[in-house]
C-alpha cells in the first residue's frame, strides 16, 4: 500500500463508508458511558507499576442486554475465553471452539459493512469473490495459529493478540486493543484503567469519543499505552484491519486516515499470512491536536 496522499484518500473514503455502515456501533451516552478522568504518565515497557490517574473504571455503564441481542457481538464474546493468556503455551482448539470461530465469521459476513469490505477487496484483486473462499481467507488471517514465542508450540493468532490480549514472559502485555474485552476484564476486576494518553495536558478526551489511547494494568502487568476503538462493532474492526493487511505486503503497514471526526494512524503488523497485531492511534479529534 502506497503511503501517498492518493492511497490514503481512497482508504479514508472507504473507511468512512464502513463507518456509516456500522449500524451495530453503540451510541455513547445511551448504550454505554465512559469516564476518561486523568492523563496517564510515562511508564517504561515491562514495568509492573504505574501512577493511577483514574480512580474509577473507564466504563461506567454498558447496556449488556443490547450487546447480547446483537448477533455479531454475541458470537464475538463467546470467543474471548478460548485462549491461553501466556505466549509459549500452545493453544488447543476444540471442535466447539472451531465452530465458534466459524459462527463469528458467518455472522459478520451477514452485515452490509462486511459485504462492502469484501466487494472492495474483490475489486482490488485481493480476495476471492466466492463468499466461502473469502471466509476461509478471513479465518487464515485472524484464527490461524502460529508461533509467537519460538520456544513453544503454536501459541498465538491475530484474533487472540488484537482482541483478547496476551502476555510475554509474564512481564509484558501484548495486544488487547478491543473495548468489549477491556470492559469485561474491567468488570471482573482484572483490568485497572490508569488514564488516557495524550500529547498535551489541554487535550482531554470527550466522553463521546470513539477512539482512545489508554494506559492500564492487566493481571498485575502494565501496558504503557494502547490504542482502542470504543463502541464500534467487531465487524468494523475486522473489516478495517483486514483491508489494510491485504492491501500491503510490508511487515509493518502504517497509514494516516480521517474517519468521521478522527485523524488516525492505523497500524498493522504481518505475521506470514496472518495478522500479528493491529491497532488505531488517535492523532486528533474534533480538530484537537493531541
**Ordered per-residue pLDDT tens for the chain, 290 residues:** 444 444 578 889 999 999 999 999 999 999 999 999 888 887 766 666 777 888 899 999 999 999 999 999 999 999 888 565 554 455 556 778 788 999 999 999 999 999 999 999 999 999 999 999 999 999 999 998 876 655 555 657 888 889 988 877 666 778 899 999 999 999 999 999 999 987 654 467 878 889 999 999 888 888 888 899 999 999 999 999 999 999 999 999 999 998 888 888 999 999 888 999 999 988 877 644 44
Element of type H or E holding 174 = strand 172-174
pLDDT digits (tens, 9 = 90+) for 275-289: 999 999 888 776 444
How is residue 216 written as a grid cell? Answer: 492500564
How is residue 42 written as a grid cell? Answer: 510515562
Q: Where are the domains of the chain?
A: 5-289
According to DSSP H, which parts of the chain are helical? Answer: 5-21, 64-69, 71-79, 95-109, 112-123, 131-142, 158-159, 179-187, 234-246
- What CA–CA distance (Å, rounded) separates 63 from 183? 11
Rg over alpha carbons for the chain, rounded to the nearest Å, is 18
Q: What is the pLDDT of residue 193?
A: 94
- What CA–CA distance (Å, rounded) separates 93 from 159? 13
Sign of CA dihedral 122, 128, 130, 131: negative
- What CA–CA distance (Å, rounded) separates 273 from 23? 30
- What CA–CA distance (Å, rounded) separates 180 from 173? 17
SS3 letters across 8-76: HHHHHHHHHHHHHHCCCCCCECCCEEECCCCECCCCCCCCCCCCCCCCCCCEEEECHHHHHHCHHHHHH
Tell me whether residue 55 is one of the annotated catalytic residues: no
Tell me whether residue 223 is one of the annotated catalytic residues: yes
Q: Which residue out of 39, 75, 118, 177 is catalytically annotated?
A: 177
Question: What pTM value is reported for the model?
Answer: 0.90
pLDDT digits (tens, 9 = 90+) for 94-120: 778 788 999 999 999 999 999 999 999
Tell me whether residue 177 is one of the annotated catalytic residues: yes
- What CA–CA distance (Å, rounded) separates 241 from 141? 10
Q: Which residue out of 39, 161, 210, 281 is catalytically annotated?
A: 161
Q: Which residue out of 39, 75, 223, 281 is catalytically annotated?
A: 223
* Angle of CA points 115, 116, 120, to nearest 5°: 115
Amino acid at each position: 500500500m502506497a503511503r501517498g496522499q492518493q492511497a490514503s484518500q481512497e482508504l479514508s473514503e472507504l473507511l468512512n463508508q464502513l463507518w456509516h455502515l456500522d449500524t451495530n456501533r453503540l451510541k455513547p451516552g445511551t448504550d454505554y458511558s465512559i469516564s476518561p478522568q486523568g492523563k496517564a504518565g510515562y511508564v517504561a515497557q515491562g514495568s509492573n507499576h504505574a501512577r493511577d490517574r483514574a480512580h474509577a473504571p473507564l466504563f461506567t455503564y454498558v447496556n449488556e442486554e443490547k450487546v447480547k441481542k446483537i448477533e455479531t457481538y454475541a458470537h464475538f464474546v463467546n470467543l474471548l475465553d478460548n485462549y491461553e493468556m501466556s505466549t509459549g503455551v500452545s493453544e488447543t482448539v476444540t471442535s466447539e471452539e472451531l465452530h465458534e470461530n466459524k459462527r463469528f465469521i458467518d455472522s459478520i459476513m451477514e452485515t452490509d459493512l462486511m459485504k462492502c469490505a469484501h466487494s472492495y477487496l474483490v475489486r482490488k484483486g485481493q480476495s476471492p469473490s466466492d463468499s466461502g473462499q473469502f471466509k476461509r481467507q478471513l479465518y487464515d488471517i485472524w484464527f490461524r495459529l502460529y508461533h509467537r514465542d519460538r520456544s513453544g508450540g503454536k501459541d498465538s493468532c491475530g484474533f487472540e493478540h488484537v482482541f483478547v490480549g496476551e502476555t510475554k514472559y509474564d512481564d509484558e502485555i501484548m495486544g488487547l486493543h478491543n473495548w468489549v474485552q477491556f470492559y469485561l476484564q474491567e468488570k471482573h476486576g482484572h483490568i485497572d484503567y490508569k488514564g488516557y494518553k495524550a500529547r498535551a495536558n489541554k487535550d482531554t478526551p470527550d466522553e463521546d469519543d470513539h477512539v482512545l489511547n489508554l494506559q492500564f494494568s492487566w493481571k498485575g502487568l502494565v501496558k504503557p499505552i494502547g490504542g482502542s476503538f470504543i463502541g464500534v462493532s467487531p465487524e468494523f474492526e475486522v473489516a478495517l484491519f483486514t483491508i489494510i493487511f491485504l492491501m500491503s505486503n510490508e511487515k509493518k503497514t502504517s497509514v494516516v486516515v480521517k474517519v468521521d471526526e478522527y485523524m488516525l494512524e492505523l497500524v498493522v503488523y504481518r505475521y506470514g499470512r496472518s495478522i500479528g497485531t493491529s491497532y488505531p492511534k488517535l492523532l486528533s479529534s474534533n480538530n484537537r491536536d493531541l
